[in-house]
Amino acid sequence: MYRPQIKVLDCTIRDGGLMNNWQFEDCFVKAIFDTCCNARIDYMEIGYKSSESAYSRDENGAWKFCDDADIIRVLGEDCADRGIKLSAMADIGRIEYDDIPPKERSVITLIRVACYVHQIDKAIALAEHCMDKGYEATINLMAVSRAMERDIDEALNDIAKCRVPVFYLVDSFGAMYCEQVERLAKKYVAALPGKTIGFHGHNNQQLAFANTIEAIIHNCNWVDGSMYGIGRGAGNCPLELLVSFLKNPKFDPRPIYDCVQHEMIPLREKIEWGYHVPYLITGVMNEHPRSAMKFMEAPKRGSFVEFYNKIADGTTLE
């Protein structure tokens, strides 16, 4: 038994790049693309569309910008004909409209616009601008676990009136439990008839997979995963778990298992992601994981209890 309308998006390069400033070797990016194609994943999010006025190319790899020349150079001239759609994310305030070419000049199909609740009007404008240029578009409302109910209601009212067809429930801080996912998924579905709801979870409390299942149960039909759970801090829902759970015969998990063995496990020796107590603490506290990431990157890691106390006191927050 499976629900054929469920779409799966791989965010290995985009979200995983938050751990190494998108400094992936070309052969690694190509391996992830080939794996997604062979596993018959619906979308692969290859990175961000960002303005060079917002980010330096000296500090960030190609996948922070996702120029079509780089995509074609690494993935091949036929990358748009491999049966998978390429996606990129655009953050409000970090992209100019002119940085997005018309769809006929790009191999990217989908642009996901990420915003906070106070930016929803700008997100709608950008997403509809992308649609006018020929792209598919979603709006991903981040950090909803910290948003006021009234602000969420106002955002949903605005989304209901716009042309953007897909709206994402995002657990940015890995703070949610299944009950919260259920409540918000039901709220989104009821407020947005005719639109598709997606879910993107983080694994601070080892709940990204469970929360994704909960979202699916409550009619979220676009879901995200990443190879071996790579992503910012504690990472995301592991793609291999998600595809295995869905039971859709279209998906083939074997290429993902092979990629995990030959690409992701070796990468784990160079980049540390996944569950760790500092990420748990920020998740429990419903805080951005930047403090935990700074703790994990320190040459000498301190006491977990001391870190907990600082988070509880608010002294490490930016």
User: How confident is the model over 205-258, as pLDDT tens digits?
Assistant: 999 999 999 999 999 999 999 999 999 999 999 999 999 999 999 999 999 999
Whether residue 318 is contained in a domain is answered as no
Query: What does the pLDDT average to over 134-146?
Result: 97
Strand intervals (E) in 35-84? 43-48
Q: Determine the pLDDT at residue 317.
A: 47
CATH of the domain at 34: 3.20.20.70
Token readout for 215 is 């979202």
Tally of domains within the chain? 2
Q: Is residue 281 part of a domain?
A: yes
* Residue 159 to residue 165: CA distance in whole angstroms: 9
CA 134 from chain centre, in angstroms, equals 22
Residues 167 and 192: beta-carbon distance below 8 Å: yes
pLDDT exceeds 60 at position 32: yes
Model pLDDT, residue 66: 97
189 shares its domain with 246: yes
Residue 156 lies in a domain: yes
Residue 14, token pair as written in the block: 């985009």
- What range does the domain containing 75 cover? 7-268
Q: Alpha helix (H) ranges present in 162-204?
A: 178-191
**pLDDT per residue over 66-92, tens digit each?**
999 999 999 999 999 999 999 999 999
In this structure, the answer to whether residues 283 and 258 fall within a common structural domain is no
Query: Is the torsion defined by CA of 101, 104, 105, 108 positive or negative?
Result: positive
Cα of first residue to Cα of last residue in the chain, in angstroms, is: 46
Q: Rounded to an integer, what distance in angstroms lies between the CA atom of residue 282 and that of residue 277?
A: 9
Do 291 and 183 share a structural domain?
no
Alpha helices (H) in 40-177, listed in sequence order: 68-75, 120-132, 149-161
Same domain, 101 and 31: yes
Residue-level pLDDT at 316: 52
Question: For residue 146, what pLDDT is reported?
Answer: 96
Query: In the numeric block, which tokens belong to residue 90?
Result: 């655009």
If asked whether residues 159 and 117 sit together in one domain, one would say yes
Round the CA-based radius of gyration of the chain to a whole number and report it.
19
Contacts of 169 (CB under 8 A, 6+ apart): 141, 144, 181, 184, 185, 188, 197, 198, 199, 200, 215, 220
- Kindly state whether residues 296 and 263 are assigned to the same domain: no
In 3-state terms, the chain is what percent helix, strand and coil (to 5)? Answer: 45, 15, 35
Task: Say how far residue 139 (Cα) sits from the centre of its chain.
Answer: 12
257 inside domain: yes
- Specify the pLDDT at position 299: 85
- Cα dihedral 265, 271, 273, 277, rounded to 10, equals 120
Residue 1 is predicted with a pLDDT of 67
27 and 157 in a single domain? The answer is: yes
- Say if 2 falls within a structural domain: no
Do 255 and 306 belong to one domain? Answer: no
- Domain assignment present for 1: no
Say what the pTM is: 0.96
Which whole number is the average pLDDT over 4-19? 97
Q: Indicate if 243 and 283 belong to the same structural domain.
A: no
Claim to verify: residue 236 and residue 103 sit in the same structural domain: yes
**Which amino acid would we find at residue 126?**
L
DSSP symbol at 238: B
Query: What is the tens place of the pLDDT at every residue in 36-67?
Result: 999 999 999 999 999 999 999 999 999 999 99
Is the residue at 117 inside a domain? yes
Q: How far apart are CA 102 and CA 68, in angstroms?
A: 12
- Classify residue 173: in a domain, yes or no: yes
DSSP H helical ranges for the chain: 12-16, 26-39, 68-75, 120-132, 149-161, 178-191, 208-217, 239-246, 254-259, 265-268, 277-284, 290-297, 304-313
Reading the block at residue 80, the tokens are: 């748009």
**Single-letter amino acid, residue 268:** R
Same domain as 287, residue 236 = no
Q: Are residues 37 and 145 in the same domain?
A: yes
Helix (H, G, I), strand (E, B) or coil at 152: helix
| % residues pLDDT > 70 (the chain) | 98
Question: Per-residue pLDDT tens for 165-216?
Answer: 999 999 999 999 999 999 999 999 999 999 999 999 999 999 999 999 999 9
Average pLDDT over residues 121-135: 98
Maximum Cα interatomic distance, the chain, rounded to a whole number of Å = 54
